[in-house]
């Protein structure tokens, strides 16, 4: 029999007896090392090629396969979040991640290494939806900015230090230690969560629609794989395999969307787009991810080409911006709680747009300090837009749609990244080829260097147009009120009237 004098709380963070910090720590430490693992291998790919005597197209599957698994798995995370408890989901995904890491550390061949890497992707892909959904259920809207800022610190800071940390480990200890060093922290996260992590939310056990899962897998998997291969291949989007994958993916997603609108219990409820602040957040999120992922590829190519810098120097130039992006994320979250989204997102979108335009004016004589400042401003503006926009958009959703809203946003990260990189690399390559066709001596180093400059200028000019669109969209943003709270307030007003 329940105690009638016991106070009930709509959000668990308001309950003084509920220990929030251990739960936050459990989730964040696991996510940090899982996401760190995403970029930890980037610098080690050349070493792996030599170790296993394989070519670039084969070793690239360590990256492509990782993104593919995430693109397939995240869309069904909403279904899984409603089918299992918080503890079951977190402990299960961290266990899979840890097993994958151990397999990678002991791998005798590349095929075994790849299998372990794909298991890591399973854990990584599900962890962020778990964290988002859990924090949305624990914290009230007015406190979510600071909390989501801590999540942003993990999401941004971990990938930022990944390449630098990877270079040191590979050089002094060997590539296997990229995985060995992660294992103790992953095990600690599991043991800590077993003791402190509590279940939040309700397990509703929705009906599993197999056709929806098949359409989702083919759709999102086809698009991620198609665009990833387009960015890697010589013929880009003209390769039959790439075109087939992308067209099949688009058709499958269209069928998937139509089916979700007809189901009583959709696997991924696309009705979240009925909420305007959520839709604005999604558009801004896609623009930000495309700008960030493509810049992390395009700028190093420019610095190691026309500017003739070595990889280490190029990495150091990008490091201040990447670190600032992660470290400022909690600050941006607290500012969002205090001032709302407009004060932050609109100026940041303006800075992002101006930065893209400045990068479209680069030349082979552009000073290094200008690139450092441009990338620094780019990453700060991303920090001021990404988490505040996501939090504001999710705040408008009713609780029952939290798993679906977080699943869609997290699905769009690998999809937008793959699309952005492939499209911008294709634009860069096409402009380079067009420039060299008109050059008097297309094999001359100066002509090749100038062709890269021409390609980078066009890429960032197009990126400027996309960022300008994002700025115009940001003008319509406002502080979101949870829809279920609005409905309760309206019902109460009617009752009092």
Residue pLDDT, tens place only, 52-109: 888 766 777 887 788 788 878 878 888 888 888 888 888 999 999 999 999 999 999 9
Average pLDDT along the chain: 82
The residue with greater pLDDT, 18 or 114, is 114
Q: pLDDT at position 19, please? A: 75
Percent of the chain scoring above 70 in pLDDT: 89
Using CA atoms, how far residue 147 sits from 140, 196, 330, 364, in Å, is 10, 18, 7, 42
Instruction: Read off the tokens for 253.
Output: 């997603």
Q: pLDDT at position 279, please? A: 93
For residue 36, the number of C-alpha atoms closer than 13 Å in the C-beta half-sphere is: 23
- Report d(CA 375, CA 387) in Å as an integer: 19
Residue pLDDT, tens place only, 447-469: 888 888 888 899 899 889 999 99
Q: Distance between the two ends of the chain, CA-based, in angstroms?
A: 36
- Report d(CA 280, CA 277) in Å as an integer: 5
274 contact partners, CB below 8 Å, separation of at least 6 = none
Find the helix packing angle between 368-395 and 144-172, rounded to 10°.
140
* Average of per-residue pLDDT across 428-438: 84
Instruction: Read off the tokens for 19.
Output: 């220990």
Residue pLDDT, tens place only, 268-286: 888 899 999 999 999 998 8
Find the helix packing angle between 86-106 and 20-40, rounded to 10°.
30
Q: pLDDT at position 1, please? A: 42
pLDDT band at 390 (very low <50, low <70, confident <90, very high): confident
- Report d(CA 466, CA 388) in Å as an integer: 20
Residue pLDDT, tens place only, 155-207: 777 766 776 677 778 777 888 888 898 899 889 889 988 888 887 777 777 78
Q: Which of 26-35, 55-64, 272-281, 373-382 has the lowest mean pLDDT?
A: 55-64
> Residue 223 above 80 pLDDT?
yes
Q: What is the 3-state secondary structure (H, E, C) of the chain?
A: CCCCCCCCCCCHHHCCCCCHHHHHHHHHHHHHHHHHHHHHCHHHHHHHHHHHCCCHHHHCHHHHHHHHHHHHHHHHHHHHHHHCCHHHHHHHHHHHHHHHHHHHHHCCCHHHHHHHHHHHHHHHHHHHHHHHHHHHHHCCHHHHHHHHHHHHHHHHHHHHHHHHHHHHHHHHCCCCHHHHCCHHHHHHHHHHHHHHCCCCCCCCCCCCCHHHHHHHHHHHHHHHHHHHHHHHCCCHHHCHHHHHHHHHHHHHHHHHHHHHHHCCCCCCCHHHHHCHHHHHHHHHHHHHHHHHHHHHHHHHHHHHCCCCCCHHHHHHHHHHHHHHHHHCHHHHHHHHHHHCCHHHHHHHHHHHHHHHHHHCCCCCCCCHHHHHHHHHHHHHHHHHHHHHHHHHHHHCCCHHHHHHHHHHHHHHHHHHHHHHHHHHHHHHHHHHHHHHHHCCCCCCHHHHHHHHHHHHHHHHHHHHHHHHHHHHHHCCCCCCCCHHHHHHHHHHHHHHC
Q: pLDDT at position 408, please? A: 86
* Average of per-residue pLDDT across 355-360: 91
Q: pLDDT at position 358, please? A: 92
* Average of per-residue pLDDT across 321-327: 81
CA neighbor of 45 nearest in space, from 33, 54, 35 = 54
Q: pLDDT at position 234, please? A: 56
pTM over 0.75: yes
* Average of per-residue pLDDT across 393-404: 87
> Residue 489 above 70 pLDDT?
no
The rounded radius of gyration (Å) of the Cα atoms in the chain is: 23
The residue with greater pLDDT, 312 or 286, is 286
* Average of per-residue pLDDT across 97-125: 91
CA neighbor of 94 nearest in space, from 30, 13, 2 = 30
């Amino acid at each position: 029999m329940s105690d009638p004098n016991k106070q009930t709380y709509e959000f668990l963070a308001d309950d003084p007896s509920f220990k929030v910090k251990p739960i936050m720590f459990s989730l964040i430490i696991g996510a940090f090392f899982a996401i760190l693992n995403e970029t930890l291998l980037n610098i080690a790919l050349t070493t792996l090629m030599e170790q296993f005597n394989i070519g670039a197209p084969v070793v690239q599957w360590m990256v492509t396969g990782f993104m593919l698994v995430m693109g397939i798995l995240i869309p069904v995370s909403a279904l899984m979040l409603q089918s299992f408890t918080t503890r079951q989901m977190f402990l299960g995904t961290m266990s899979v991640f840890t097993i994958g890491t151990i397999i990678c550390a002991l791998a005798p061949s590349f095929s075994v290494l790849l299998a372990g890497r794909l298991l890591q992707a399973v854990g990584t892909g599900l962890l962020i939806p778990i964290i988002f959904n859990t924090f949305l259920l624990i914290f009230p809207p007015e406190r979510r900015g600071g909390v989501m800022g801590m999540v942003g610190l993990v999401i941004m800071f971990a990938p930022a230090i990944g390449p630098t940390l990877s270079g040191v480990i590979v050089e002094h200890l060997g590539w296997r230690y990229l995985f060995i060093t992660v294992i103790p922290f992953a095990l600690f996260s599991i043991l800590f969560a077993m003791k402190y992590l509590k279940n939040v939310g309700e397990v509703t056990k929705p009906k599993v629609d197999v056709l929806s899962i098949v359409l989702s897998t083919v759709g999102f998997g086809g698009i991620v794989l198609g665009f990833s291969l387009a960015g890697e291949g010589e013929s880009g989007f003209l390769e039959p395999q790439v075109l087939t994958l992308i067209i099949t993916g688009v058709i499958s997603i269209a069928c998937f969307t139509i089916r979700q609108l007809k189901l009583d219990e959709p696997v991924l409820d696309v009705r979240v787009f009925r909420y305007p602040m959520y839709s604005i957040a999604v558009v801004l999120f896609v623009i930000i991810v495309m700008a960030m992922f493509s810049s992390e590829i395009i700028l190093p190519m420019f610095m190691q080409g026309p500017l003739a810098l070595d990889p280490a120097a190029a990495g150091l130039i990008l490091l201040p911006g990447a670190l600032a992006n992660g470290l400022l994320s909690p600050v941006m979250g607290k500012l969002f709680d205090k001032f709302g989204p407009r004060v932050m997102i609109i100026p940041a979108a303006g800075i992002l747009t101006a930065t893209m335009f400045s990068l479209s004016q680069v030349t082979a004589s552009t000073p290094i300090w200008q690139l450092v400042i441009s990338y620094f401003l780019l990453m700060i503006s991303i920090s001021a837009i990404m988490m505040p926009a996501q939090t504001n958009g999710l705040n408008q959703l009713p609780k029952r749609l939290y798993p679906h809203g977080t699943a869609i946003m997290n699905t769009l990260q690998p999809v937008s990244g793959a699309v952005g990189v492939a499209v911008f690399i294709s634009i860069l390559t096409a402009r380079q080829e067009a420039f060299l066709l008109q050059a008097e001596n297309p094999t001359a180093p100066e002509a090749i260097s100038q062709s890269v400059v021409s390609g980078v200028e066009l890429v960032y000019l197009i990126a400027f147009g996309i960022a300008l669109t994002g700025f115009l969209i940001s003008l319509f943003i406002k502080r979101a009120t949870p829809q279920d709270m609005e409905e309760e307030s309206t019902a109460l007003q009617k009752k009092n009237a």
